[in-house]
Amino acid sequence: MLHTRRHFISIRPTLLGLATLACCQSLHGTMHLGPDWDGDNAVDAGSLPVSAQKVEKDDSNAVVIIRGELKGEEETGEGFASVGDYQDMYQVVIMNPGEFLISTTEPLGFSEFDSTLSVYDAEGRALLANEDAEDGLNPSRVGNTSTNGKFSITNPGVVYIAISGAGNRPRNVQGGSIFGWTQNSTDVVGPAFPAGQLPIDSWGGEELTGEYAIHLVAVGPVPSSCGVQNTEDCFVPHPTPFCADETCCELVCLQRPFCCEVSWDTSCAEAALIQCTPPPCNPACPGDLDYNGQVSGSDLAMILANWNGPGCTDINQDGVTNGGDLAIILAAWGTGCGTE
């Protein structure tokens, strides 16, 4: 990735600023409930999805604070590094889109520089971004909907969030700005068209440095693998990738990588029902494979999707899903549990 260095501004707080920062850092350390993440605890967070730092925890379903620092160009043994640290990107999980919020506003968030926050989908495409939370304030804030109401984050799952200096903006491979920035810096903006249809590839513009803390609401870490402590039931849709039964999880993700990369959605849960449940799926109502209380088209779809395969769709338990199981579905069509 190539950066064009236009301005190098190092923010040096005044005595009043240092006192304020110390106060706020104390608040950050004591006021928030839940875990935080130190973005500089290992390898520094990169600036693109391929180098983003995965916020990976196996003992929690929430991340409240991400702390880090944009360090700029650092001296190496051969002089100055050719690529500086002017953006940090993290991979996290949106647990509840309706409550999603990230900000560098006090008291839980802060930044030593005029920040910009941006959000990207699992493919690196633009979702939402903001430069200024309010007029005259340097911190940023992004919720689940753009200011003009045209763009919203509606699905849970893996996303990327990034922090950079104000005016330092993401671009696609063609050099186009992928967000639809306006003249009003307080606007939460959505993707630009058509540039925003391509994923982030580089950054350009003014480069700022300093420490920061991003406050997150309705955001969780990315589980490290199938079967770890904070994964959930394989048969129930949930925001995070992976599920609790390691064998079932690996079986489903072999056919549907999405389930271990983005989110364990309804299709993943249905695949688990088909591939991981011993027959029959629903002993109380054998034709109701998806437990919705009725034998219907969704059950037929599960039969056809697993034709000639084993698992819970083998209703008559003859070892394979075939015409015998289809006949049971059709005979019970429209009935519910306990209905003759």
Predicted pLDDT of residue 310: 80
What is the domain partition of the chain in residue ranges?
8-220, 224-276, 278-340
| CATH of range 278-340; options 3.40.50.10490, 2.60.40.420, 1.10.1330.10, 1.10.10.10 | 1.10.1330.10
Whole-angstrom Cα distance, residue 321 to residue 315? 8
pLDDT score, position 283: 74
Each residue's pLDDT tens digit, 244-284 = 999 999 999 999 999 999 999 999 998 998 888 776 677 77
Q: 224: Cβ–Cβ under 8 A, 6 or more apart, which residues?
A: 56, 58
> 8-220 with 278-340: one CATH topology?
no
Predicted structure pTM score = 0.74
Give CA separation, 27 vs 19, 41, 69, 105, in Å.
12, 20, 18, 12
pLDDT of residue 284: 77
Average pLDDT per block of 10 residues along the chain, 340 residues long: 28 33 38 52 82 88 92 64 79 96 94 96 97 89 97 96 95 95 96 94 93 95 93 92 95 94 93 81 80 87 87 85 92 72
Q: Tell the CATH topology of 8-220.
A: Jelly Rolls (2.60.120)
For residue 274, the model assigns a pLDDT of 83
Residue whose token pair is 């967000």: 179
Predicted pLDDT at 83: 60
| Residue carrying structure tokens 């916020």 | 55
Please, are residues 234 and 245 in contact by the beta-carbon 8 Å criterion? yes
94 close to 219: Cβ distance less than 8 angstroms: yes
